[in-house]
């Protein structure tokens, strides 16, 4: 059986090809949104060609026009649908990773095909990134490490209004006493010092600069053990 | 009488032949030329890293100084190639590190590179100069630290559009203070900040720095500092191009640009504040390249900029330029050779953006040197395409993307066959073509008949039957790269043109109508091809010959089937389908 299949293919017979082929030709002017959405639905379902081949009923419900003169396609009715939502839903489970632009509101939910239009992800990310205001309303998460702790934590600096609030939260998180360094009193009764890495990559002591400046320049936090915090007299 | 030139003379003659194609031709003249040529070849370009093995390359070319490799298929750019597909640079870098102690340049595209490999590069080559990682992934700033720390003679570090895992901005500080040979630095793809002080010091001690492309995180306020340190720059990529309302930033920037007498190319322009645009007007008259494709500026700002750049040869821009901006371009930039217009909204036409086929027609009319076009739009007509073809028979690259698949001629509602037909008929030197819109088999007949110089063809959502594919494979004599998605092309055309596939670099077909059975036959008939079938869903039954394949990648190779395929790829190997 394999041999006959092979020879039929090699002879260029279209018989085998036709039984497998099930690609309705959609030719319709993009006069309304429904028809243009249909064409992209077609391509979504095409990408799962196996299911498509097997399920001829699916094909029968497809709304499309056949190309005049092609007689190997079944006649199809063209109906303008008034339920665009239905066609969208049928398309969506078969889609690959969708590439929705979250930050842009579109008038209608457009079915999206994987990898189309052919724009590099680098560019897509850059364009989408433009629409999102950096660091505003989306939190400012920084990593917090504590010497000796097996895991790091992340905190949102936007949540706090002052150093005091931050320190309190850190102390609770790591069950330790940090406190703020004070020129006169040193670290009152604490064995840890809070440091942070700023934009230039330098490690600074928490508390020197105004709170707002700290929030914008802090990249990550590190709670050092007392013995490592040189010059702090712990 | 046996006539032959001494080997040294031939070698000297060959040293003037630098293009790969010419070198390849030289090497097949006769056996002795082959031997002489291979021993003195300095540059190797391998368009598909799986077509040959590192061992074979090293055995044939022992004195190589520069290697360029490409890994994944082009459609990897558009998320069509799944994770873990391959393209690993590891084994290449490993073997080269042992075989080529004097290697100076490595250029990789669409490959997976690890930090370990970068470290190996940094320590293995005594005179290492150039590292280009374009659209690569798999490495972090730790690998870059190694390069910075160890490559004492580095000239070029270009991370064009790569995905870099940022662990810190410190890696720049690893360039030692004695390091002064940098000529080109492209870090535009880096997501997080680099240490600005390190960057500034680096720029200050690099008198030969000609190209500097910053990432978005470098604030505009700091740009003038850098420009003052490097007024000799020829190519500049800015960071974010906004800074609130700061007249001091503006005037410093303006002054800095005035000092840049050599600047010929500008890019970057992330997040543009139009009020800062005039700061670089002073360099516009010298600009040959302008990349505003990340800048959402519109008329009149964009039109003003363009009108100040009469020497522009290459323009990349968003569709915010609109037809009006393109009309201005056609009037002002008579030396334009390349135009790329990218979409700002990817799916639905923005009602506020009026970019139509008219813009492209204007440019084709006004810019007589136009050779290369990449154009995203929402509507096209046959008459426009015919006009463009007649205006610009000197086009060599025409890539049109009508965003909605299968869009017909918006005036006549017909397929765009005759429009593209005119393009291939008039543009006799066309070597690259990308199709879109509603297309029947007829367009492929035109392509097969006329596009004799076509090297690369990209097809999506087009054609009616195998005849379309057959026209292309049988007609396009020097076609090297063919990539197809979502077309009703299948077994018949493929099997009728098996010999053609051995003359090509690669064929990609996804969501088409090719069956497993045909893949097996192809593989059996053509042992010099690797026939790779992707089955991401796990639904493929390799014994069921009628099963359709999701993705097919066929390429010629002398290295046999590759051994690094992920589990979802089957290789058709002679008698059966194999998974590694």
DSSP letters along A188-227, please?
Answer: TT-SEEEEEE-TTS-EEETTSS-HHHHHHH--EEEEEEGG
Confidence check: pLDDT of A84 > 50 = no
Is B259 exposed, middle or buried (CB count within 10 Å of its CB: 0-12, 13-18, 19+)? middle
pLDDT digits (tens, 9 = 90+) for A155-171: 888 888 788 888 888 88
| CA dist., res. B366 & res. B333, Å (int) | 8
> What is the pLDDT confidence band of residue A189, given thresholds at 50, 70 and 90?
low
Query: How much is the pLDDT for A5?
Result: 42
Closest of B238, B239, B187, B229 to residue B208, by C-alpha: B229
| CA dist., res. B257 & res. B235, Å (int) | 12
Contact call for A104 and B189, based on CB within 8 A: no
> What is the pLDDT confidence band of residue A27, given thresholds at 50, 70 and 90?
very low
**A110 → closest Cβ in B79, B135, B348:** B348
Q: Helix (H, G, I), strand (E, B), or coil: what is residue B462?
A: coil
Contact call for B77 and A50, based on CB within 8 A: no
- For residue A164, the surrounding DSSP H or E stretch is helix A163-174
Closest of B303, B294, B149, B146 to residue B214, by C-alpha: B294
> What is the pLDDT confidence band of residue A180, given thresholds at 50, 70 and 90?
low
Contacts 24+ apart (CB under 8 A), A134-142: A140/A215, A142/A196, A142/A218, A142/A219, A142/A220, A142/A221
Query: How much is the pLDDT for A45?
Result: 36
Q: Helix (H, G, I), strand (E, B), or coil: what is residue B139?
A: strand
Contact call for A118 and B78, based on CB within 8 A: yes
**B169 → closest Cβ in A12, A20, A201:** A201
Residue B209, token pair as written in the block? 């720095």
Contact call for B460 and A116, based on CB within 8 A: yes
**B545 → closest Cβ in A5, A10, A49:** A5
Query: How much is the pLDDT for B466?
Result: 95
- Output the DSSP codes for B251-283: HHHHHHHHT-TT--EEE--BS--GGGGGGGHHH
| CA dist., res. B367 & res. B389, Å (int) | 13
Confidence check: pLDDT of A85 > 90 = no
Strands B529-534 and B551-556: antiparallel
Give residues 178 to 207 of B whose Cβ lies within 8 Å of A: 189, 193, 195-198
**B404 → closest Cβ in A30, A99, A121:** A30
Nearest-neighbour CA in chain B from A32: distance (Å): 12
Strands A203-205 and A192-197: antiparallel
Residues of A in contact with B438 (CB under 8 A): 27
β-partners of residue B46 are B69
Chain A interface test: which of B347, B349, B379, B572 (most A C-beta within 10 Å): B347
Confidence check: pLDDT of A72 > 50 = no
Q: Which residue of B has its CA nearest to A217?
A: B193
Nearest-neighbour CA in chain A from B95: distance (Å): 31
Nearest-neighbour CA in chain A from B102: distance (Å): 34
Confidence check: pLDDT of A229 > 80 = no
Query: How much is the pLDDT for B347?
Result: 65
Q: What is the pTM of this model?
A: 0.74
Query: How much is the pLDDT for B392?
Result: 97
Q: Which residue of A has its CA nearest to B293?
A: A123
Residues of A in contact with B196 (CB under 8 A): 199-200
| CA dist., res. B186 & res. B210, Å (int) | 11
Contact call for A27 and B547, based on CB within 8 A: no
- For residue B519, the surrounding DSSP H or E stretch is helix B516-525
CB-based contact B142:B116 (threshold 8 Å): no
| CA dist., res. B239 & res. B200, Å (int) | 14
Contact call for A127 and B344, based on CB within 8 A: yes
Measure the CA dihedral A98/A99/A103/A106, to 10°. Answer: -80
Residues of A in contact with B494 (CB under 8 A): none
**B490 → closest Cβ in A17, A120, A127:** A17
B489 touches chain A (CB under 8 A): no
Pick out chain B residues at pLDDT < 50.
Answer: 1, 575, 580
Nearest-neighbour CA in chain A from B152: distance (Å): 24
Query: How much is the pLDDT for B13?
Result: 93
> What is the pLDDT confidence band of residue A139, given thresholds at 50, 70 and 90?
low
| CA dist., res. B33 & res. B22, Å (int) | 13
CB-based contact B269:B238 (threshold 8 Å): yes
Contact call for B342 and A119, based on CB within 8 A: yes
Residues of A in contact with B465 (CB under 8 A): 21
Confidence check: pLDDT of A1 > 80 = no
B463 touches chain A (CB under 8 A): no
More confident residue, B228 or A177: B228
Chain B interface test: which of A117, A121, A125 (most B C-beta within 10 Å): A117
Q: Which residue of B has its CA nearest to A24?
A: B464
Contact call for A101 and B80, based on CB within 8 A: no
Contact call for A118 and B408, based on CB within 8 A: no
Give residues 98 to 117 of B whose Cβ lies within 8 Å of A: none
Q: Which stretches of B388-542 are assigned E, i.e. beta strand?
A: 397-402, 432-434, 456-460, 481-485, 506-510, 529-534
Contact call for A127 and B189, based on CB within 8 A: no
Nearest-neighbour CA in chain B from A217: distance (Å): 11
Nearest-neighbour CA in chain B from A191: distance (Å): 28
Chain A interface test: which of B72, B74, B75, B79 (most A C-beta within 10 Å): B79
| CA dist., res. B226 & res. A169, Å (int) | 40
Closest of B466, B322, B320, B343 to residue B400, by C-alpha: B343
Confidence check: pLDDT of A140 > 80 = no
Confidence check: pLDDT of A196 > 70 = yes
CB-based contact B555:B48 (threshold 8 Å): yes
Contact call for A14 and B492, based on CB within 8 A: yes
Residues of A in contact with B513 (CB under 8 A): 17, 20-21, 23, 49
Q: Which residue of A has its CA nearest to B537?
A: A48
Q: Which residue of B has its CA nearest to A29?
A: B413
Contact call for B518 and A201, based on CB within 8 A: no
Contact call for B173 and A200, based on CB within 8 A: no
- In this prediction the ipTM stands at 0.85
**B517 → closest Cβ in A5, A40, A112:** A5
Averaged confidence pLDDT in chain A: 58
Distances (CA, A) of B554 to B130, B494, B526, B557, B558: 31, 11, 11, 10, 13
Q: Which residue of B has its CA nearest to A103?
A: B345
Contact call for A49 and B407, based on CB within 8 A: no
- Tell me how many residue pairs between chain A and chain B have CB atoms under 8 A apart: 158
Q: Helix (H, G, I), strand (E, B), or coil: what is residue B401?
A: strand
Query: How much is the pLDDT for A60?
Result: 45
3-state SS track over B326-380: HHHHHHHCCCCCEEEEECCCCCCCCCCCCCCHHHHHHHHHHCCCCCEEEEEECCC
Query: Any idea which residue has 């010059």 for tokens?
Result: A231
Query: How much is the pLDDT for B203?
Result: 96
């Amino acid at each position: 059986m394999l041999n006959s299949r092979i020879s039929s293919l090699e002879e260029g017979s279209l018989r085998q090809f036709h039984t497998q082929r099930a690609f309705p030709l959609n030719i319709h002017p993009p006069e309304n949104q429904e028809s243009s959405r249909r064409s992209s639905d077609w391509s979504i379902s095409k990408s799962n060609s196996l299911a498509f081949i097997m399920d001829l009923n699916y094909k029968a419900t497809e709304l499309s026009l056949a190309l005049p003169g092609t007689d190997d396609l079944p006649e199809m009715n063209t109906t303008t649908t008034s339920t665009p939502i239905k066609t969208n839903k049928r398309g969506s489970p078969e889609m690959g990773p969708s590439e929705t632009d979250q930050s842009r509101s579109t008038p209608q939910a457009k079915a999206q095909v994987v990898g189309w239009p052919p724009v590099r992800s680098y560019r897509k990310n850059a364009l989408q990134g433009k629409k999102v205001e950096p660091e505003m309303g989306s939190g400012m998460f920084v990593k917090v490490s504590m010497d000796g702790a097996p895991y790091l934590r992340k905190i949102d600096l936007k949540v706090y209004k002052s150093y005091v609030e931050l320190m309190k939260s850190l102390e609770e998180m790591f069950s330790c006493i940090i406190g703020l360094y004070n020129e006169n009193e040193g670290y009152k009764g604490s064995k840890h010092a809070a440091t942070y890495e700023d934009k230039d990559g330098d490690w600074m002591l928490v508390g020197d600069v105004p709170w707002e400046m700290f929030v914008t320049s802090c990249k990550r936090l590190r709670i050092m053990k007392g013995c490592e915090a040189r010059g702090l007299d712990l | 009488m046996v006539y032959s030139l001494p080997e040294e003379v031939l070698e000297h003659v060959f040293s003037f032949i630098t293009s790969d194609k010419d070198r390849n031709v030289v090497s097949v003249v006769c056996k002795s030329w082959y031997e002489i040529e291979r021993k003195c070849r300095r540059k190797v370009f391998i368009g598909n890293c799986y077509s040959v093995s590192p061992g074979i390359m090293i055995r044939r070319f022992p004195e190589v100084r520069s290697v360029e490799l490409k890994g994944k298929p082009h459609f990897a750019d558009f998320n069509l190639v799944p994770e873990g597909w391959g393209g690993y640079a590891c084994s290449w870098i490993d073997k080269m590190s042992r075989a080529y102690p004097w290697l100076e340049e490595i250029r990789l595209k669409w490959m997976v590179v690890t930090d370990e490999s970068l470290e190996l590069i940094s320590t293995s080559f005594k005179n290492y100069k150039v590292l280009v990682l374009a659209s690569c992934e798999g490495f972090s700033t730790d690998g870059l630290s190694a390069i910075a720390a160890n490559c004492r003679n580095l000239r070029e570090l270009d991370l064009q559009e790569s995905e870099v895992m940022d662990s810190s901005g410190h890696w720049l500080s690893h360039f030692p203070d004695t390091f002064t040979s940098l000529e080109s630095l492209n870090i535009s793809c880096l997501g997080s900040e680099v240490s600005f002080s390190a960057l500034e010091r680096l720029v200050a001690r690099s008198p030969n720095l000609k190209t500097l492309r910053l990432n978005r995180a470098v604030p505009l306020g700091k740009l003038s500092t850098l420009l003052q340190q490097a007024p000799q720059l020829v190519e500049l990529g800015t960071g974010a191009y906004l800074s609130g309302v700061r007249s001091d930033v503006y005037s410093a920037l303006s002054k800095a640009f005035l000092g840049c007498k050599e600047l010929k190319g500008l890019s970057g322009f992330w997040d543009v504040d139009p009020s800062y645009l005039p700061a670089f007007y002073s360099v516009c008259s010298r600009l040959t390249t302008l990349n505003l494709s990340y800048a959402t500026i519109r008329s009149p700002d964009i039109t003003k900029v363009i009108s100040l750049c009469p020497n522009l040869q290459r323009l990349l821009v968003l569709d915010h330029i609109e037809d009006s901006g393109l009309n201005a371009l056609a009037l002002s930039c008579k030396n334009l050779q390349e135009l790329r217009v990218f979409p700002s909204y990817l799916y639905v036409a923005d009602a506020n953006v009026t970019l139509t086929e008219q813009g492209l027609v204007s440019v084709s009319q006004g810019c007589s040197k136009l050779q290369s076009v990449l154009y995203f739009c929402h509507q096209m007509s046959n008459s426009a395409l015919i006009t463009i073809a007649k205006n610009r028979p000197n086009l060599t690259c025409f890539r049109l993307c009508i965003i909605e698949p299968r869009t017909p001629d918006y005036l006549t509602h017909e397929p765009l066959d005759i429009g593209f037909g005119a393009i291939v008929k008039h543009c006799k030197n066309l070597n690259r073509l990308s199709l879109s819109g509603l297309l029947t088999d007829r367009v492929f007949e035109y392509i097969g008949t006329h596009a004799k110089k076509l090297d690369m063809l990209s097809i999506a959502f087009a054609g009616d039957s195998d005849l379309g594919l057959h026209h292309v494979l049988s007609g396009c004599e020097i076609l090297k790269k063919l990539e197809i998605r979502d077309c009703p092309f299948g077994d018949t055309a493929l099997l009728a043109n098996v010999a053609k596939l051995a003359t090509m670099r690669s064929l990609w077909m996804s969501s088409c109508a090719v069956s497993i059975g045909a893949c097996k036959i192809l593989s059996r008939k053509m042992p010099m091809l690797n026939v790779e079938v992707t089955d991401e869903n796990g639904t493929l039954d390799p014994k069921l010959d009628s099963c359709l394949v999701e993705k097919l990648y066929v390429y010629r190779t002398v290295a046999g089937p590759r051994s690094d395929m992920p589990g979802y790829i089957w290789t058709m190997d002679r008698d059966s389908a194999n998974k590694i």
